Structure 1
Amino acid sequence: MNTGRTKAPLINFIEVNPRETIDKGHLSKKIGMDKLQPFCRDIQEYEIAEFNGGAKFRNSDTIMARITPCLENGKIAMVNVLDENEVGFGSTEYIVFRAKKGLTIPDFVYYLVSSSIVRNPAIKSMVGSSGRQRVQIDVVKNIEICFPSISEQFKIASILKALDDKIALNNKINNNLEQQAMALYENTFCTPSNIAMKHISLSDLMDYSGGSQPPASKFIFIKRDGYIRFVQIRDYDTDSHITYIPESAKNKLCEEHDIMIARYGASLGRICFGINGAYNVALAKVFPKKSYFREFLRCYLSSRTFYEGINNKGGRSAQAGFNQSDINSFELDFPIDEAIVQKFENTVAPMFEQRLQLRKENQRLASLRDTLLPKLMSGELDVSDIDL
C-alpha cells in the first residue's frame, strides 16, 4: 500500500558520500571493515588512527560496504561511536548515506539501505575483477524508491528499531556475563592465592576433533527436511549465507552447549557456541575429559594466554592451524583440589546458560526484523493506524 509515497531517485532524498573534512595525520576514530558485524546495526568497537584517507562520516550516518563479499555478507551499520560534531573515518570501500533534513530520518535511511530495495540493485551493479568487484555508486544514487512521509518513516523505523534495540541490550547483557565469568576465572585461577596448583598438559583436560568437508554437490542453500546446518568459520556466529547438508552425510556434529574453536586463518583460536549442526575442517569441537571441566575450559580457551599461545604455534603461515601436537604441548597450572573447579563450574554454568538463551532470543528477533523489513519498506504492511 503506497498511498502518499513519493517516487524519486535515492539521491533526491538521501545524501550519498557527503563532504566532510579531517586534516591529514589527525588522530581520529577509525571504523575498519573488520569492525562491522554481519547484519548488525550497531558498531561495537573502533580504533584511534591517523587519517590518511578513507570515507568520512558522522554519528547517525549509514555506512555500507561496496566491495564483494562484504556487502553480500551484510556489512552495513549505523555510526554510533562518535561524539557530537565529531567526524570519523573508515575504509575507502564504504558508501556513506545521510538523511536529508525534512525529507528523511537517519533510522529510516539505515533500514532502507539494509533492505533488498537498495542492497539487491547495489549487488547487481558490481563491476571489476573477480573477488574485487565494487558497487557502482551512480547506480545506487539513481535507484527509484517510493519514499513515505516523515511521519510514516518514523513509524516504520520505530518498529524495526525496537527489535534492534532489544538485540543490542541482549548483546550488552551477554558481554557483561562473559566479563563476569572471565573475571571470576582470573581471580580464582590466575592471581596469586593459597590454592595448591599442579603443572599439567592441556591434553589432560580435553580432547578435540576437527570437522570434515562433504562434497560441494551435497550443499543446498534453503533448509528442507532431512538437511542440517553446515557451519563454517565465515558464518559460525551469524545467520548469513547458511548452507545445509544431508543428515545422512558423514560429518562431525555439534550442539549448542559444545565449545567450538577455529583452527585456521584470521579467526585462529576464536571460540564460539550456540550452534546445532555439522562443522567443517576449519573448526574443532572440544571434549572435556570431565563434565565439570567445561566452563573452566571455555574460559581458559577464551583467555589471552591461550589465544597468544595458539597463534604463536598455529600461526606459522597464513593458512597454518593448530593440531593435536600443539594442544599436547600447551601447559598450564591447574588446582590439585578439583572441588575448586567443580565450584567454579556450578557458579559459571548458569551464566553461560543465560548467554545461550539471549543469543537464541536474538536470532528470533533478527528473523522477525528481517521478515518485517521488506514488507514495511514496500508499504505492504500499513502503519498509518499505529499510534507511537
Structure 2
Amino acid sequence: MAGNWRHTTLGEFVSLQRGHDLTEIERKPGTIPVMGSAGQNGFHDIALAKGPGIVIGRSGASFGQVHYCPVNYWPHNTALYVTDFHGNDPKFAYYFLKSISFARYNSGSAQPSLNRNFIYPIEVNVPPLEEQHAIAHILGKLDDKIELNRRMSETLEAIARAIFKSWFVDFDPVRAKASGEPSETICHRLGLTPDLLALFPDRLVDSELGEIPEGWFVWAVRDVGNIVCGKTPPTKNPAYYGNDIPFITIPDMHGNVFATMTQRKLSHKGAVSQTKKTLPAGSICVSCIATPGLVVITTEDSQTNQQINSVVPEHLGETYYWFWTLRDLGDEIRAGGSGGSVLTNLSTGRFSEMRVLAATADLRCSYQELLAPLFEVILSNTNQTRTLASLRDTLLPKLLSGELRVPETVGWADEGSPTPASPQN
C-alpha cells in the first residue's frame, strides 16, 4: 500500500442509498437535475440530495455506471447515490468509484442489479485527503478540457448545420430574391457576400422532392459518387486484424462528425484482402442496418462492416455539403419515408436509389470553402479529446493505486476545490 494510505472498505469510504421514484407525471418544470442510472435525465423543481453528488446505476443497461453532479439534484430510483462521503473529497470519490468494476457484484439474475450490501465489503486503499484533492484536481482538469472541447464542437456543428439549412433546406436566399428584397439587405441579413448571393437563383420550381430552386437537380445517391458497401474480413483469421486501418462499425459513429477512433482496426493484410472496400479520407459513411441513419466522415483510409454503406463523393471538395445532405437522408431512413416504419435493413441498392437535392456545383464548393475552418476545429477538438481521454484513462488506475504519486500542493486549493461533503439528510 502506498505510503500512509488507509486500508478500509467501500462501505466505510462512502454511504449509499437507493434513489427515489419520480414518474413523468410527477415531474415539474425546474432546474434541478434528475440523476439516474445513465446520468442526467431531465429536470425537476425539487432537490432531494445536496451537490456535489455521485450516482451509480443499479439496474438495466447502465448497471454500474458512475456519474457526478456538481449541484443539488434528485437521485432517481434507477441508481444508488452517495449520502455521506465520510470526509473524503467528492470528486476523488467519483473517480475512485469509476475505477471499480461493479459487474461482478451483480445481485440480480436475468436483470442486472446492484445492491449496496453486496459492495460495501469491497476492500479499498484510500489516500490522505490532501492527496485526494491533488488526484481529483489532475483528473478533473482533463475532464474539464474534454467537456470544453465537446461544447465548442457542438456549437460549431450547430452553426454549420444552421447555414446549410438556411441555404439548402429553407432556401432563404432564393426566397428573399424571389420576394424582391434588395440584394444589399439580403446580404446583410443572411451574412452573404454579393458574389455568393449571385450564385442563388431567384425562383422555385416543382420537382419530385417538392419546390426546389431553379437550376438545382434531384439526384439519386449513386449520382453523388461511388457507393461502397462494407464487409467484415473473416474473424477466424487473426492476421487480418491489427492496428493499421480503421475498421468503422456503428458504435464508432454515435455522436460523431468524424470517424477518428474505432474499436477495431485491420492489418494491412486484412485491408488488402478486400481492397475494393477501402474508403479514402473525405468519404461519408451511413449506417443502414440495425441502427440506421448515423453519418460520419472518414479522416484517413478506412473500411467498414456490412451494416454501413459509404459514399465516396466524385469531388471530395464537396464532402461537407454531402455530409449534411446524407445526415438529412438519415432522418428519412429512420422514419422509413412516407411509410412510417423504420427501415432497419436498407440494402445498398435501395440506398443508392434514394433521392437527394443537388445544388449547383459552385454552391456546393462555396459551402465547403466557407465552413471548412469550422469542420477543421471540430476535427482538431475530436483528436485532442481522444488524446486527453487516453491520458486520463492511463493516469486514473496509476493515481488511484498509488503507483503514481502526486505532490499534495498541486494548486487545487486556490481553484475552489470542494470541501468534503457532510452527511445528507
TM-score band, normalised by shorter chain: 0.7 to 0.9
- State the 1:106 CA deviation: 2.0
5 Å-filtered alignment, 1:299-310, equals: 299-303=324-328, 306-310=329-333
5 Å-filtered alignment, 1:54-73, equals: 59-66=51-58, 70=62
When normalised by structure 1's length, the TM-score is: 0.78
Match of 2:422 in 1: none
5 Å-filtered alignment, 1:188-337, equals: 188-192=167-171, 193-194=173-174, 195-196=200-201, 197=213, 198-203=216-221, 204-218=223-237, 228-236=245-253, 242-249=263-270, 250-251=273-274, 252-254=277-279, 257-265=282-290, 267-273=291-297, 277-303=302-328, 306-313=329-336, 316=341, 319-321=344-346, 323-332=348-357, 334-335=358-359, 337=360
Task: Tell me if the contact between 1:257 and 1:273 (Cα under 8 Å) persists in the aligned partners.
Answer: yes
- State the 1:170 CA deviation: 0.7
Change (3 A) 1:15 1:143: same
- AA of the residue aligned to 1:374: P
- State the 1:317 CA deviation: 5.7
Number of residue-to-residue matches in the alignment: 355
Task: Tell me if the contact between 2:282 and 2:316 (Cα under 8 Å) persists in the aligned partners.
Answer: no
- AA of the residue aligned to 1:200: V
- State the 1:350 CA deviation: 2.0
Match of 1:89 in 2: 76
Per mean C-alpha deviation after superposition, the further-off stretch among 289-298 and 171-180 is 289-298
- AA of the residue aligned to 1:79: C
Over the matched positions of the two proteins, sequence identity in percent amounts to 21
Where in structure 2 are there 5+ consecutive unaligned residues?
175-199, 202-212, 412-425
Match of 2:7 in 1: 7
RMSD (Å), alpha carbons: 3.5
Q: Distance in 2 between matches of 1:247 and 1:57?
A: 53
Residues 300-326 of structure 1 deviation map (CA, whole Å, 9 limit, x = unaligned) = 2233xx233112338846842353324
- AA of the residue aligned to 1:293: E
Match of 1:98 in 2: 82
5 Å-filtered alignment, 1:83-162, equals: 85-87=72-74, 89=76, 92=78, 94=79, 96-98=80-82, 100-115=84-99, 118-119=100-101, 122-126=102-106, 132-135=111-114, 137-162=116-141
Task: Tell me if the contact between 1:268 and 1:311 (Cα under 8 Å) persists in the aligned partners.
Answer: yes
Task: Tell me if the contact between 2:14 and 2:85 (Cα under 8 Å) persists in the aligned partners.
Answer: no
- State the 1:156 CA deviation: 0.4
Q: Distance in 2 between matches of 1:344 and 1:151?
A: 53
Asked whether 1:169 is paired with 2:148, we answer yes
Match of 1:79 among 55, 69, 88: 69
Where in structure 1 are there 5+ consecutive unaligned residues?
37-42
Match of 1:39 in 2: none
Task: Tell me if the contact between 1:152 and 1:383 (Cα under 8 Å) persists in the aligned partners.
Answer: yes
Q: Distance in 2 between matches of 1:99 and 1:280?
A: 46
Task: Tell me if the contact between 1:313 and 1:322 (Cα under 8 Å) persists in the aligned partners.
Answer: no
- AA of the residue aligned to 2:95: Y
- State the 1:58 CA deviation: 6.1
Q: Distance in 1 between matches of 2:289 and 2:49?
A: 34
- AA of the residue aligned to 1:139: F
Q: Distance in 2 between matches of 1:373 and 1:286?
A: 40
Larger radius of gyration: 2
Change (3 A) 1:23 1:244: closer
Task: Tell me if the contact between 1:61 and 1:97 (Cα under 8 Å) persists in the aligned partners.
Answer: yes
- State the 1:167 CA deviation: 0.6
- State the 1:104 CA deviation: 1.6
